[in-house]
Amino acid sequence: APRHLYVKRYPVIYNASNITEVSNSTTVPPPPFVNTTAPNGTCLGNYNEYLPSGYYNATDRPKIHFTPSSGFMNDPNGLVYTGGVYHMFFQYSPKTLTAGEVHWGHTVSKDLIHWENYPIAIYPDEHENGVLSLPFSGSAVVDVHNSSGLFSNDTIPEERIVLIYTDHWTGVAERQAIAYTTDGGYTFKKYSGNPVLDINSLQFRDPKVIWDFDANRWVMIVAMSQNYGIAFYSSYDLIHWTELSVFSTSGYLGLQYECPGMARVPVEGTDEYKWVLFISINPGAPLGGSVVQYFVGDWNGTNFVPDDGQTRFVDLGKDFYASALYHSSSANADVIGVGWASNWQYTNQAPTQVFRSAMTVARKFTLRDVPQNPMTNLTSLIQTPLNVSLLRDETLFTAPVINSSSSLSGSPITLPSNTAFEFNVTLSINYTEGCTTGYCLGRIIIDSDDPYRLQSISVDVDFAASTLVINRAKAQMGWFNSLFTPSFANDIYIYGNVTLYGIVDNGLLELYVNNGEKTYTNDFFFLQGATPGQISFAAFQGVSFNNVTVTPLKTIWNC
């Protein structure tokens, strides 16, 4: 497909008539919320509770990854950037540690790394006989021109946030609904005319809405989950939707499609863009459980047209799902995504105490031609973690070179307890020193800080086999789940040196290979009380670690 050079355009305003909102008496009233700053030394939790000082210090809680104060969290929803603030909503079951009575939790950030909690944004609806319908996943937009007619001039354009979510009524239907805020995002009202899109289907969910700057209208990307279809709808007012097309039966099918997203992603080093369609699958990932795949192509205003029939995955670890993209009112904003750092195969049993699951750090998405073998480059999604650098503490360790004859090889570097850290390293190989499969490698080991250091995770880059092995077999000693795959042998094409950037937190490793060409997100679970305590870089048979740095990261939590 030809590449397009997009020209920035401004949307045409559609003059929808104002619709007066009528209170929905069947809405479950929220608990009282005090619209005031939390008392000193405390934080606001995700279920409108105040948290005592030190609440987030628990050793099973990640320090730089967003986690809910309590309860169960899954899909990131409604990512929207407006007024200098990034909003993140998420699927949230506040009263249980397993997925259940889902709400939309809400948190905000100025820098995509420090988060401040806001009240629950969407509650379940209560119907006759106390039956609930649940707000499943969706997205958010800023209706700057009030195309929906839901806002008065009292709400400034950049605060006109509209949430689009699936109302899931078990056994009845899945329908798309909207909610809006007139107080900057603290609270949301459901639209009185909900649902705005009902096709009489039980498997119709996860609407992602974007503004099509070329067609000057809203476009919804939504999953017809168990028909393996991604349906596209258009609207001029976020309320009335017209079907455009369906993209179907592509890539891995698994059991169903979920959580679609679409964005115009820049190609690095050029002024060109390609459209990328994201589809999550659960279950049915090749590693088991949940996974996110993507397709590269073009959006012609009506159809998504893929460039090829390739199957591509966003993240090659086992714990990356339901990634969502930030909405912005700017046509040329960076494409930023967040994934849920877990897997439906085992998330409901993960051994954390007060909360379950975390989000990845926010990542910027771009496209790059990446060598796959000596003959072929492929357009691949590149992921760059955002603003982790803001958390850097004093560098703990640097070494220009560690090779097999270096005394530093395999020597442990002590890490501060209960602290996230990052490492940067470039691995190179001198083949003249001999190279045997399975032994010609650089190994990074991260041990726990329990007294006997029995627990660890490791990353091996094997230049002979061209593989990257992530091993977490020793990171489930306190908890066993048959589906928690202990090791991953990933084939990587090594066409030069291999750079690794790793973010290691309590229970979560995010590994970025060759500046984001491949990413691997994997959970790990040390015994209660243990956190990463040591890291070592062991070089074997001709492999060198170059430009090694290890840097602690300050916690994002204020209490």
Can you give the binding site for other proteins, defined by CB under 8 A? 203, 226-228, 248-256, 283-289, 306, 308-311, 313, 344-345, 348-349, 372-376, 378, 437-438, 441, 460, 462, 465-467, 469, 471, 473, 482-483, 485-491, 493
- Whether 298 is a known active-site residue: answer no
When computed from its CA atoms, the radius of gyration of the chain, rounded to whole angstroms, is 24
Q: Is 142 left (phi over 0), alpha (psi -120 to 50) or beta?
A: beta
Nearest to other proteins of 118, 299 (CB atom): 299
Rank residues 204 and 211 by Cβ distance to other proteins and give the closer one.
204
Looking at beta carbons only, is 418 or 455 nearer to other proteins?
A: 455
CA distance 399 to 459: 18
- Smallest gap from Cβ 190 to other proteins, in A, equals 28
Residue placing its CB nearer to other proteins in the complex, 115 or 488: 488
Among candidate residues 60, 75, 167, 523, the one labeled active-site is 75
Tell the smallest beta-carbon distance from residue 132 to other proteins (Å): 17
User: Shortest gap between Cβ of 374 and other proteins (angstroms)?
Assistant: 7
Cα–Cα distance measured from residue 449 to residue 425, given in angstroms and rounded to the nearest whole number: 23
Q: Long-range pairs for 465-473 at CB < 8 Å and ≥24 separation?
A: 465/437, 465/438, 466/491, 466/492, 466/493, 466/494, 467/491, 467/492, 468/492, 468/498, 468/513, 468/518, 468/520, 470/317, 470/509, 470/511, 470/520, 470/522, 472/522, 472/523, 472/524
Label each residue of 255-284 as H, E or C. Answer: CCEEEEEEEEEEECCCCCEEEEEEEEECCC
* Residues 88/338, Cβ–Cβ less than 8 Å: yes
Shorter beta-carbon distance to other proteins: residue 250 or 360: 250
**Cα–Cα distance for residue pair 51/432, rounded to 1 Å:** 59
Separation CA 387–CA 397 (nearest Å)? 21
Choice between 227 and 424, CB closer to other proteins: 227
Query: What's the min distance (Å) between Cβ of 467 and other proteins?
Result: 6
CB of 472 to other proteins, least distance (A): 11
Q: State the Cα–Cα distance between residues 530 and 466, nearest whole angstrom.
A: 33
Asked if 165 and 11 touch (Cβ cutoff 8 Å), the reply is no
Structure token pair of residue 448: 């726990």
CB of 287 to other proteins, least distance (A): 6
Phi, psi of 442 (to 5 degrees): -110, 130
Annotated active-site positions, please?
Answer: 75
